[in-house]
């Protein structure tokens, strides 16, 4: 499965989920779906904005974990 480590990067950048949602331009509810791993897919545009705001690479926040 694919894990998303948003929490770690939020701490690193000293940001809250609400701040990230505002800067990325998506709702907190949607960001929460992404954070809790309930999302089925992520748009490249969303990933691009998250990476731009957190100043990281997609591989920094997305990890594959064998089930």
Residue numbers at the binding site for another protein (CB under 8 A): 26, 30-31, 33-34, 38-43, 46
Helix 17-24, helix 44-54: angle, nearest 10: 120
Q: Which is nearer to another protein, 38 or 65 (CB)?
A: 38
Q: Which is nearer to another protein, 34 or 53 (CB)?
A: 34
Degrees to nearest 5, angle at CA 43 with 37 and 46: 85
Q: How far apart are CA 55 and CA 64, in angstroms?
A: 21
Q: How far is the CB of 23 from another protein (least distance, A)?
A: 15
Q: Which is nearer to another protein, 17 or 39 (CB)?
A: 39
Q: How far apart are CA 27 and CA 15, in angstroms?
A: 15
Q: How far is the CB of 39 from another protein (least distance, A)?
A: 5
């Amino acid at each position: 499965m694919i894990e998303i480590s948003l929490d770690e990067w939020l701490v690193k950048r000293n940001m809250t989920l609400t701040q990230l949602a505002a800067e990325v331009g998506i709702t907190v509810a949607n960001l929460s779906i992404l954070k809790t791993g309930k999302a089925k897919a992520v748009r490249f545009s969303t990933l691009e904005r998250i990476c731009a705001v957190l100043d990281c690479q997609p591989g920094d926040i997305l990890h594959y974990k064998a089930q």
